[in-house]
Amino acid sequence: MRIAVFSAKPYDRTFITRANAGERHSLSFLEARLTADTAPLANGFDAVCAFVNDCLDATVLEQLHNGGTRLVALRSAGFNHVDLATAERLGITVVRVPAYSPHAVAEHAVALVLSLNRMTYRAYNRVREGNFALDGLLGFDLHGKTVGVIGTGHIGLIFADIMHGFGCRVVASDPFPSPAAKSFVEYVPLATLFASADIISLHCPLTPETHHLINADAIAQMKEGVMLINTGRGRVVDTQAVIAGLKSGKIGRLGLDVYEEEEQLFFEDLSQGVIDDDQFMRLTTFHNVLITGHQAFFTAEALTNIAETTLANIDAFESGSGTMHRVVSAK
Ligand code: NAI
């Protein structure tokens, strides 16, 4: 098949080319993000391969359909950026990579917890400048603290396991409690989780129900000085409310790998220009905020799985046999 690979970075090219053994598909790597402006680049391609910040709304899907595209192969687990109803109406099949390395994301969430707790990012800079003072670096023992996990799917359960290993108590909230959850995971109502957790980590998908799940009302129910970690999706958190929580001290530490308006920022080198997002820049001024640019998934194992599953999805679509991880709208 002829495939247009959007938002292609050098590492995508490396791993996807490796997975395309025998050059069985014809791949065109495009640096551009998929939008209504760039969709015409896919004219004549059977399939479009897209990542998390590519736009697959009704307008773009209509354009792809008119250009002959029959398959959208997502290189992600999340599919909140795809208008599935429109794709189905147009006869475009949408496939995804359901779980590529839940360990990668869970481990990154733990990295944010550890760095924020002991402020290693501040210590690094201080020591390089010959400043060995410890003021401002005070952490707390993780042992004995309560960790709240929102969303106990693949990633949330691994995060829970690791935190349990530190000696934390784990409370969790999920409308569908997992049968795979170990006995130490205590499912509690969300309000109980907010009120009892010292650290809250978000591992639920973005859905209409989880949009701004963490808003002013939720923050008001949390413990004073709570640590909040988001490696899920940016829009699960109301950024304005979180900034207010940081200013008041209610939120003591904030770790983000995803951000509400990240489509305009992440995955690009914007260091030579002006960042025109005042809300994001405000976040970067807090010493107790650590932001990474959607890199939680970024391990060699995850990129290998993403590339291999994506190519297997495309093989299955083309041949009509084998496993295809199809996404359909919840009607
Ligand atoms: P999963 O589908 O295995 O688990 C998601 C869990 O969230 C499910 O158990 C589901 O019942 C639960 N959930 C749904 N609505 C909820 C609600 N209102 N409150 C609490 N829980 C709710 O997904 P997985 O693989 O664990 O991934 C979780 C999320 O992590 C993805 O949806 C994606 O948004 C994000 N992600 C982020 C990455 C990154 O690089 N930062 C990479 C991969 C995924």
Same domain? 204 vs 110: yes
What pLDDT shows up at residue 331? 61
Same domain? 122 vs 248: yes
Query: Per the structure, how many domains does the chain have?
Result: 2
Catalytic residue (one of 260, 262, 308, 325): 262
Same domain? 266 vs 317: no
Share of the chain above pLDDT 90, in %: 95
* CATH (domain of 62): 3.40.50.720
Alpha helices in the chain (DSSP H): 10-19, 58-66, 84-90, 102-118, 120-128, 154-165, 190-196, 216-220, 239-248, 278-283, 300-319
Q: How many other C-beta atoms can be found within 10 angstroms of the C-beta atom of residue 61?
A: 26
What pLDDT shows up at residue 27? 98
- Is residue 277 scored above 80 in pLDDT? yes
What pLDDT shows up at residue 99? 84
b (16+ CB within 10 A) / e for 198-229: bbbbbbbebeeebebbbeeebbeebbeebbbb
Atom index in ligand 1 nearest the CA of residue 258 equals: 41
- Is residue 7 scored above 80 in pLDDT? yes
213: CA distance to ligand 1 center in Å? 13
Same domain? 120 vs 149: yes
Same domain? 30 vs 168: no
Same domain? 65 vs 123: no
DSSP state of 93: E
| pLDDT, mean over the chain | 97
Same domain? 91 vs 106: no
Domain interval for residue 163 = 102-291
Closest Cα to atom 3 of ligand 1 = 153
Closest Cα to atom 32 of ligand 1 = 205
Catalytic residue (one of 25, 154, 294, 325): 294
Tell me the pLDDT tens digit for each residue of 198-239. Answer: 999 999 999 999 999 999 999 999 999 999 999 999 999 999
Same domain? 75 vs 170: no
Same domain? 76 vs 116: no
Same domain? 274 vs 175: yes
Q: Is residue 94 in contact with ligand 1, taking CB distance under 6 Å?
A: no
| CA pseudo-torsion sign 164, 233, 49, 269 | negative
